[in-house]
Copies of this chain bind each other. A is one copy, B any other.
Amino acid sequence: MATMTIKDIARICGVSISTVSRAINNDPAINEKTRERIMQVVREFNYIPNNSARNLKMAESNTVALIVKGINNPFFQGMFPYFQKELVAAGCDYFLHTISGSADEVYVAEEIAKEKRLKGIILLGGTMDYPDVVLKRIHVPLVLCSVAGFGVNDPNGGSHVSSVSIDDEKEAHKVVSYLCDRGHRQIAMLTGVRGDTNVGMMRLRGYRRALEENGIAYDEDLVAFMDEKNQEYTEANGYQMMTRLLKGRKKFTAVFVIADRMAIGAYKAIYDAGLRIPDDISVVGFDGIELTRYMEPSMTTVIQPVQKMTESSVRLLMDQINGSTERKHLLYEAELHERDSVLDLNAVFPKAELLHA
């Protein structure tokens, strides 16, 4: 036999399909005995309601979609348990929907919203270069979490959505200032593609500002841009970019890498070049993924405030769902977590430093 419908169950139980529907959906207006009898049959025949029919008919579900662009990103993976906790606490059903890096998130969001009668959407990751008019197409409450460059390209961006992220420029500035404070003056960087308009640009900007403030000239030979053809924040890319820098003619004592996974690749490139971390080269990553703790030496990195970000995303979404017309754009402070991958040159050459001054 193919697959059961509510009609089959109704026939078997000798009741109407309305009654079966009520039994399944725990409608209070049903006789408990009837309900039990029906549920017995439901179990016996392993009847599963067709969600397409259900979604089609229902006015609104209680479901929120978490749409993730870039499922391979361990930073996002680290957020899932927090989202789960918050969404459940908010009393929502939710599901995770992953989309590829090339997918059109606005289209997908609207498509799923229709299909599932969503109550709201949290979009995690990706970049958001869409003008406001495009964003407006999404007819359900929407929150952008950790979406790179949101609002950057559209000064009016965000009048229809809320967003939560960190201040990339500021955090990069923090990292490089920290390195300067530790006596580093030749500081390399592994960043995104040349001409990046999102994270790469913001973090590069922070890097440059910190250098400037410390009286260090910007030297493009110390910046490795990502290959246009392979725009992934992977170990392989980090390895390859770091190797390129190491083979360059410019010396440096530290490197700031804009993603932890790339920094792991950079670690290996440094080791393969016969150098030590941090003795020869100091490394600072970005994101704060779990793995960085397990590197040798454990990696100093910028830990994004995952808990705050997820909490706020859910809260802002709930506010919208509950009718608030206010849209907020929250920027959280990340934490530069000191571990063992940065050498304090002041401690190594205290005398020399004094002479310099």
Nearest B-chain residue to A51, judged by Cβ: B115
CA distance A290 to B52 in the complex (A): 39
CA distance A295 to B335 in the complex (A): 25
Report the minimal beta-carbon distance from A68 to chain B, rounded to whole angstroms. 10
Q: Chain A 33-64 against B: per-residue CB contact (8 Å), 1 yes, 0 no? A: 00000000000001010111101100000000
A152 at the interface (CB under 8 A from B): no
CA distance A290 to B294 in the complex (A): 16
Report the minimal beta-carbon distance from A17 to chain B, rounded to whole angstroms. 16
A347 at the interface (CB under 8 A from B): no
A169 at the interface (CB under 8 A from B): no
Residue from the list B72, B77, B98, B114 in contact with A48, Cβ < 8 A: B114
A56: B residues at CB distance < 8 A? 50, 52-53, 56
CA distance A55 to B296 in the complex (A): 51
Contact status A114-B71, CB under 8 Å? no
Which of A8-16, A153-161, A260-268 has 4 or more CB atoms under 8 Å from chain B?
A260-268
Nearest B-chain residue to A290, judged by Cβ: B235
A116: B residues at CB distance < 8 A? 52
Report the minimal beta-carbon distance from A339 to chain B, rounded to whole angstroms. 12
Residue from the list B77, B80, B114 in contact with A3, Cβ < 8 A: B114
A239 at the interface (CB under 8 A from B): yes
A328 at the interface (CB under 8 A from B): no
A85: B residues at CB distance < 8 A? none
Contact status A107-B291, CB under 8 Å? no
CA distance A2 to B291 in the complex (A): 45
Contact status B139-A239, CB under 8 Å? no
Q: Given that A2-B139, A56-B52, A71-B71 are known contacts, is A271 also in contact with B296, CB under 8 Å in the complex?
A: yes
Nearest B-chain residue to A270, judged by Cβ: B296
* Chain A stretch 72-118: residues in CB contact (< 8 A) with chain B: 72, 77, 80, 96, 98, 107, 110-111, 114-116
Report the minimal beta-carbon distance from A79 to chain B, rounded to whole angstroms. 12
* Chain A stretch 221-261: residues in CB contact (< 8 A) with chain B: 234-236, 239
Nearest B-chain residue to A77, judged by Cβ: B72
Q: A51-B52, A71-B96, A268-B295 are in contact. List 11 more A-B contacts (CB 8 A).
A: A2-B139, A48-B107, A48-B114, A50-B115, A52-B114, A56-B56, A235-B291, A236-B290, A239-B294, A265-B294, A268-B294
10 A-B pairs with the lowest CB-CB distances in the bound complex, closest first: A51-B115, A52-B55, A268-B294, A52-B56, A52-B52, A235-B294, A271-B296, A50-B114, A52-B115, A48-B111
22 A-B residue pairs with Cβ-Cβ distance under 8 Å, sorted by A, are A2-B139, A3-B139, A48-B110, A48-B114, A51-B111, A51-B114, A52-B55, A71-B80, A71-B96, A72-B77, A72-B80, A234-B290, A235-B290, A235-B294, A236-B290, A265-B294, A267-B294, A267-B296, A268-B294, A268-B296, A268-B298, A296-B296
